[in-house]
Structures are given as C-alpha cells and as structure tokens.
Amino acid sequence: MKNKFLFITLLVSGNALAVCPSNTKTVFSCTTANNKSIQVCDAGKSISYSFGKASSPELSIAVPRNRVTTYQWGGMGRNMNYTVNIPNGNTVYKVFNNVDKFDEYSASGVEVVQNRKSLATVKCSESKKIVSNIEGINLKNVDE
C-alpha cells in the first residue's frame, strides 16, 4: 500500500505545474511537451526566470525589475501578442503569449535570443495548463 501511494504521488507530481514561491506573483508558467517548466515570477524588486524540470531547473536567474521589459499588444490587429523580456548577459529570454482573436489559435513559450539572433523557441504544450499574467504587467515597454 505504501508503494502504491508513492507511485500515485510521483505520477501526480510529474505532471504538476511549477509554482512560484509564496512571496512572489506568477507572471507566467507552463509545461513543454518534454515536461520541462517555463516560469516567470515577480518578486517586486526583481523578476525571476527558470527553465527545466520543476525539481531541478537547467537555468534559474533573477534580474532587477528595471532591466526587464515587456511588449504589450496595442489593441490593433487580430494577433494579441504579449512578452516579458528577461536579459542575462548578451542573451534575452522572451517569454511570450500570443492569441489570434479570430482563429482561436494561441502559442506560448520562450524564445532565446543571443546578440539579437534567435537561437531557439520552446513552446508550451497546449494540452497542459498555461498560466499567463503578462497582459498589463508593470514593466518598461519595449518595441519589438
């Protein structure tokens, strides 16, 4: 019985969405098709970004809030696009949430940009929970 409970706990926790620490607000959180977590948390004076397995991220950084930027959809056009851009040296992690108003298409994830060149885009699994509170976030705006 004890082993059965452990198996169920591992099964549930394996699909669990990573959670921001209790003293922060979740800006964005999702799970990729490879069961890796993309997470952005707002701690007030800093914004943190992590990527990887929820229990042991491959990358975890905290950046002063004044260095993090956002792009907010301007209200024109059918593609509602929101990003939070987290710099780390010459690399920027652009966490995004895009929704097409008419086709009900959406895409979320992170684009990794180094020296203004896109290196990779990792998308969230649409079959798993996505939490996005990027819209309206109080950060410096950047033109994309």
Between CA 52 and CA 38 the distance in angstroms is: 7
In this predicted structure, the answer to whether residue 11 has a pLDDT above a threshold of 90 is no
From 10-24, 29-43, 73-87, the region with the lowest mean pLDDT: 10-24
Structure tokens at 139: 């950060």
* Cα diameter, the chain: 58
Q: How confident is the model at residue 14 (pLDDT cuts 50, 70, 90)?
A: very low
- Look over the chain and give the mean of its residue pLDDT values, rounded to a whole number: 87
In this predicted structure, the answer to whether residue 2 has a pLDDT above a threshold of 60 is no
Q: What is the pLDDT of residue 143?
A: 65
pTM of the model: 0.85
Residue type, 144: E
In this predicted structure, the answer to whether residue 9 has a pLDDT above a threshold of 70 is no
CA dihedral 6, 11, 17, 23 (to 10 degrees): 0
Q: Which domain holds residue 84?
A: 2-141
In this predicted structure, the answer to whether residue 124 has a pLDDT above a threshold of 90 is yes
In this predicted structure, the answer to whether residue 20 has a pLDDT above a threshold of 90 is yes
Instruction: Give the chain's domain count.
Output: 1
